[in-house]
Amino acid sequence: MIVTVTYNPAVDQTLQFDEPMDADAILRATDARFNAGGKGINVARYLTGLDRPCVATGIVGGFTGEFISDELEDDGIETDFVQVDGPTRLNTTAIAAGEEYKLNHDSAPVEPESIDELVETVQSLGPERVLVSGSLPPGVSTADVDRIARAGDWDTVVDMGGTYLTQLESEYALCKPNREELAEATGTDVSTVDGCARAADAFRDEGFDRVLASMGADGAVLATGSELLYAEALDVDVVDTVGAGDSLLSGAVAAWDEGADDRTALRTGVAVSSRLVQAAGTDVNSFDGVEAARDRVTVRRLDE
């Protein structure tokens, strides 16, 4: 069983506009979506959609936290959240004339007692894998991420910003930076696929068994220690990139959880991500067709 931990969840509001954004204009959205969000919650949603046993936990509060709990329950996603008084943040993505605008909100500070309760919650669930994802709210530090990695005999996966990744001190089974986060963490040039692959391979020495780096339209690379693998992105019509990296990670972890090898895991991650970006928002009603998409993903070694 897999547990996802989201220290800083959100309600994701996605607004669609036909006209470009203008500071002096009042725009009327042609579509509005509200989803329980945060990287770990997205991963729990996608893992559940891929039929992998999963529990989403984290810290939620207020009317927005209640919305998250209710929506995940309605969607059949098992949860075990720690409740706090302060409201969970609201994040907005506005898509206007093909351009994306992101406006994110900070959650209320988290007290040490809530962090203790969250660690105890993960321990009580007894998972085989734990995924800690996303930003950290006030009151939470990377030492609290390390606490989860050390709190039990499970593989811990982390998907966080580059500065956070450099501050972690425990050992991790996998980290999943995007290209910008990998550049921030390593201080190297990742503008090319080869540069990104070399940076991912070198970053393994910072305490990660594997590094899976997403590169948007350029695909993804996976450094395993024995292989340096590259998968090209599928040619699809991209509508919305929100959650693309989370779906890549979900597909790879789901494949590993089923006993797949690294090449299959990478291909599965790219296939799942290709399905997500073809629709607005972070919700995917069905992953039918993922296997066919996976068959179209090409993977090659870069270290031969």
186-222: b (≥16 Cβ within 10 Å) or e = beeebeebebbbbbbbebbeebbebbbbbbbebbbbb
Q: How many CA atoms lie within 13 A of 289 on its CB side?
A: 7
Region for 8 from its dihedrals, namely left if φ exceeds 0, alpha if ψ lies in -120 to 50, beta otherwise: beta
User: Do residues 200 and 303 lie in contact, with contact meaning Cβ atoms separated by under 8 Å?
Assistant: no
- Residue 78 CB neighbour total at 10 angstroms: 16
256-268: b (≥16 Cβ within 10 Å) or e = bbeeeebbbbbbb
CA distance 27 to 14: 14
Q: Are strands 10-17 and 54-61 parallel, antiparallel or unpaired?
A: unpaired
User: Do residues 91 and 37 lie in contact, with contact meaning Cβ atoms separated by under 8 Å?
Assistant: yes
CA distance 212 to 278: 22
56 phi and psi, to 5 degrees?
-95, 125
Concerning whether 246 is annotated as a catalytic residue, the answer is yes
DSSP state of 222: E
Determine the residue type at 32: A
- Of 53, 102, 50, 109, residue with least CA distance to 78: 53
- 3-class DSSP state of 251: helix
Q: Where are the beta strands (DSSP E) in 52-88?
A: 54-61, 78-79, 82-84
Annotated catalytic residue, options 12, 155, 246, 262: 246
Q: Write out the catalytic residue numbers.
A: 246
